Amino acid sequence: MTASSLDEAPEFDGSALDALRQPLESGEMVVTRSVFSVTFPARFHLVLAMNPCPCGRGGDVGRQSAAPLCVCTPQQRRRYLSRISGPLLDRVDLRVTLVRPTLADLEFGASDAEPTSVVALRVREARDRAARRYAGTPWRVNADVPGPVVRRQFGLDRDSAEPLDAALLSGLVSARGADRIVRVAWTVADLAGRDRPTRFDVASALQHRDSGTAWAA
């Protein structure tokens, strides 16, 4: 699987961004012409990066910073954020808000960070755990498993499902989004070395989906 990253994603043409929806969902790209149709494999990691607003300082509100605060109007901010359509955003599993680092963060912040080698080992163990669970199936990782199979064979138990049911009932999550949250919850459980997702794993998956859009309200 390859990774693609689009920096300043709202600056891309809207129709080009929305063309990513099909391969993100199915892992295939279908090109149709008048007399033929060809299907190409297109499973990839997509990283979309964007500022919180056109001037790029919207996330600095409340921060101690020498930089001037955001000068965008609410309409400018809404127009900018709306360039990433809801259906495309619905297919983004992990949304992370990055806060501009201070000088102290840059000088001292990374000293207690986990080494990449430790993180890589944890990821490898999580992927091995998922691969053992999917042995004998066409799938290797949680993201591969189709939605109906997720619901039928890898659904959540009643207690674990509670945070997700509440989000569905309140309209915060779509049916497609719910499948994706369950897949992420399995990954959270795999990373923690658990056999099944707990309600905390589901809450964590929900939080990862929400945290990047808090400023968009």
Beta-bridged to residue 37, according to DSSP, are: 32
How remote is the C-alpha of 207 from its chain's centroid? 11
Query: For the chain, how many residues are written?
Result: 217
Q: Under the rule (CB under 5 A), what is the footprint of Zn ion?
A: 53, 55, 58, 70, 72
CB of 87 to Zn ion, least distance (A): 25
Beta-bridged to residue 17, according to DSSP, are: none
CB of 216 to Zn ion, least distance (A): 13
The nearer residue to Zn ion, 21 or 79, going by C-beta atoms, is 79
**3-state class of 4 per DSSP?**
strand
CB of 52 to Zn ion, least distance (A): 7
The nearer residue to Zn ion, 53 or 161, going by C-beta atoms, is 53
Using the structure block, give the residue that is written with the tokens 């990839």: 44
Nearest Cα to Cα of residue 50 among 82, 91, 93: 82
The nearer residue to Zn ion, 53 or 206, going by C-beta atoms, is 53
The nearer residue to Zn ion, 52 or 197, going by C-beta atoms, is 52
CB of 213 to Zn ion, least distance (A): 16
